[in-house]
Amino acid sequence: MASNGSEPLIGISTYLQRARFGVWDAEAAVLHRTYLDAVVRAGGRPVLLPPVVDWTARAAGFLDGLVLAGGADVDPARYGAARDPRTGPPDPERDEAETALARAALELDLPLLAVCRGAQVLNVVLGGTLRQHVGGHNVTPAVYEPVDLAVAPGSALAGIVGPSLSVLCHHHQALDRVGAGLEVVATAPDGTVEAVELPALRFALGVQSHPEADREDRLFAALVDAVRKGA
């Protein structure tokens, strides 16, 4: 654990998908390598968390911090909405696993960085809802779009990045009604909520952008710093 001076164990959620590697074409637990590299650059040790077990607080208790990774749309049924035709197909295993991981992090006060879909999962767990389609933030498939954000003065995020921030975005959904206890701490020029934080916890930040894809990112380092300060 981080308290003994070693690299903090940072769990990262993964998802199940058919993939080709070597001679194989098989179901696999997958994740962009950029998440692993971002954790390592920040001084942490990444631990992959597949959606195949019940991630209770007890099961997740060996972790020092948690990253909820980006990915496919959250099932609208989880926040009581009818499906928009532009919303992707549901992934019940991933929804269930990441919902459980988010709840475990909240219960344990585990430093949490929720990325894109992860921020949406966190919002839904806290009773919030999502906008099922937002134009302009996912213009080209598999290409991150630069977006300039205004950051709320006095927020924990502002203490990390300052009053403004240029980020890399790739999302077609966004937060609508904000979940209980969350505060909006960054917005895009069109008013889209781009970051939220939960002040009641030592570090709980949700961002719609993809800091793992930005080598100049400071958020993964802030996550690891929060772990070390609480050790």
- Active-site residues: which are they? 116, 210, 212
Q: How many residues does the chain have?
A: 231
Instruction: Tell me how crowded residue 193 is: count the other CB atoms within 10 A of its CB.
Output: 22
Q: What is the CA radius of gyration of the chain?
A: 17
Q: Would you say 45 and 39 are in contact if contact means Cβ atoms under 8 Å apart? A: yes
Helix (H, G, I), strand (E, B) or coil at 26: strand
Where b means 16+ CB within 10 Å and e means fewer, 153-183 reads: eebbbbebbeeebebbbbbbbbbbebbeebe
